[in-house]
Structure 1
Amino acid sequence: MTITRPHWAWVIAGVSFVAIIGAAGFRAVPSVMMDPLHMEFGWSHATIGAAMSINMVLFGVTAPFAAALMDRFGIRPVLVGALVLIAAGTGLGVFMTAGWQLLVLWGVLVGLGTGSISMGFVATVSTRWFVARRGLVTGILTAAGATGQLIFLPVVATITTEHGWRSASILVTIAALAVIPLVVFGVRDHPRDVGAVAYGADQDAAEEPLPNGTFGAAASGLVQGARVPAFWLLAGSFAICGMTTNGLIGTHFIPAAHDHGMPTTLAASLLATIGIFDVAGTIFSGWLTDRVDAPLLLVIYYIGRGASLLVLPMLLSAQAEPSTWVFIIFYGLDWVATVPPTIAIARQHFGANTPVVFGWIFASHQLGAAVASFGAGYIRDAQGSYDNAFHVAAGLCVVAAVLCAAIRPRRSEPHTLLAEETETFASDAGEYQGQRS
């Protein structure tokens, strides 16, 4: 009986999935710890939200530079360095006593670390290792963040309630460090490193050139994208995606539910349940992206998300009512279902340059998340309620749907778009040279 070994691309995808889960541990921390930090140090919701804003900005802005560094130095050293930064930020955080320390540790260090294992990394793996099933793999890797949330949120909430927030921070530190050996021994940079081609590619097919590798290339990716209308439409809609997920629900759902009398552990369990359905929704979205017009999918996703946010203030209570579960299930299915079609559209326009260009699109996602993280906290401090924050977010989702409806496909070969622009940056990018199709 012959045993067929899996293609190396699936091994890389599996290790990447686990690495993203390890990095996602910190994503479960802020909303659970907001009230404990507020009670212990007297820091306002806006102050803690500001730390998370810094984190989210760096989480996004780091992505294109991390993608360029992965091309220059390899995926493994970048991932290991990122996990070390996450461990340092959360581990040293147990000793903090002042607000500025929160900004440096949770904001700067963890922001840089998680930003290196984010959507730019997902785009790098899916673009480099897959031709067939690229949308599905994008959905699976994107869902890894939700899986990390699913795993960590109930545990972090329970440990925080019973043993304090410092014990929960130590748990996240250990989780980040535990992933490092798996990355060192299980990750490879290119299919050629294992004598293979990308999954679904012809054996004789030439490997697409990687016109990245320096910070100059990362900067050129922004300029290249800025000249294409689809870039701005994707960046604008993805900024709203960040506002309505990481920035609003991810950071403020638990305190908002607590305002209605819901116990923190129950609210954390509901947020974790969003992660369960997010896994299914994102993988299904990846499957749909291989078969359905990507802009149409985005329009449907944003309209549905806006409707759910509009009614959320009426659904929150001290208990998890059936209506609350309807929101949790629907919102979970939609949480990051936007990522596979967004990457697919970027791939259509930018080809092999997708990781770096999409890194900038993802940066807009995190800038939006940062605005919402601080803004929702400010609204809560000023008005004593999150209701208006949810209503504003619902309206913005309609704007995102309109932006996505305006996206038009590009019919020419995607990598030819960037030939002249990459040459422009050759002199400033050192070893970087423009690629011609």
Structure 2
Amino acid sequence: MPERVVQGRPSGLISLDVADALWAGLTTDSAVPTASAAFTRSPANAQVGYVLLGGRVVATAKASGGQWSVAEIEVRRAAAELNAVEMDRQDLVRIGPFRGSPTKECDEGTLTHWRRRIIREPQESAGPERAVRPEGGRPSHLAGIDWQRIVVERTDDRTARTWWLPRAVVRLLDAAEHTETQWLHAARTRRRNTAGTGPHHVQARAADSRRTTSPDGSTAAPLRPYNGEMDGHLYSVLTRKPGTSRKVAGWTCAVCRTAPAAVLDHCHEHGYVRAPVCQSCNTQERPDHLYSNDIRVAGHYTRLFDTHATDWLRHWHRCPGCRARTTLPLPHLAAWTAHVACRSLRPTHRDARGSRARKPCGVLRVSWAGSQNAPGSCLLTVAVDFCPSGEHRVLAQVPYREAAQRFGAWLAETAPAVAAAAGPDRLDGLPTRFRPVIADTGGEGLALF
């Protein structure tokens, strides 16, 4: 795009139409697809003082003649931030629908409840590819992101449709929702504080108006890093305390440390809070249950037990029960056993593209008989589904105690600092018996695990 087309006036302000062209031109090569009319198409809020671009609030100002304008430098900053986002289209997060979720209408003017908005559009049309609405209809982009080009529809065996987005986009939209909420809260607070009559109040309101539409976008309160403030607390107690959700929303995710926290992750076997996490990390951490005693070892376990193992192990051991027993909750221990301890047993076959490389065959699946409440009777069975050499091929049967011992040895080698903080000398005050695992067989309720 020629630079002369998008160059602003000497004041640094450009019209919304020019800003649209500038945003589209700067993000042409972005991994995250962007909308071509981020400032002028619903749900942009240019006429009320701001527009969301990625995770950034870009304030607008009303210039002479009643025309709304935006600072060119802010559009460029937002584009640079978005261009830096890396997106893996195969790393998907389910965004709904979920049983029991609220059904109230979304506020079309904000990004609040963006998941329900995305789900509602394809359901009202015939599918994601026909979700585009004419101008003035339902929103066709969110925070300048053209989500229609990357949303994935899946249908399970019960013909129920679910909707998925790449994890990077989910984190970006969660951050944008949080930033917008904080920005609007700060703006309302200033308006209340400057409300009144008299010349000095009028002057204050004018100054407030200038600050609200100022392009520096610095009004949102910064998120606080989580420093273990909820360590040792029981989830059942904290969730009954008023203001807990508001407190959680003020922290950054304790795992990725970038996105705003949305839920309190907790251990269902011991009942202790682990830490506040974002929806993306909470989804990634959650075991993929098929039945109450059966899980499928999905691709995200590569990150949990390989590339980002230390972060996740530290997170799981925030539970005093898991830390003291140097183990993991049963579903996670089962997944670790299949993904790590039995990795060498998994059959491989030649790549279909004809290369000499071999790739793991089928889909890993692990089930257990008995209960972790009686470790001597609990047995983990690791199998491969959809294997050309024999479907449901059993790879190994591992007793629970052996799996826990293997995990302890692997933990000491993989994350020595996490292993050093664990051990049987910290059993005081812990429940003598585990609570039963609460299996989420329908894939609902992302806050369960």
Tell me the TM-score normalised to structure 2 length.
0.23
Q: What TM-score comes out, normalization by structure 1 length?
A: 0.24
Bigger fraction of residues in strand: 2
The higher relative CO (CA closer than 8 Å, separation ≥ 6) is in 1
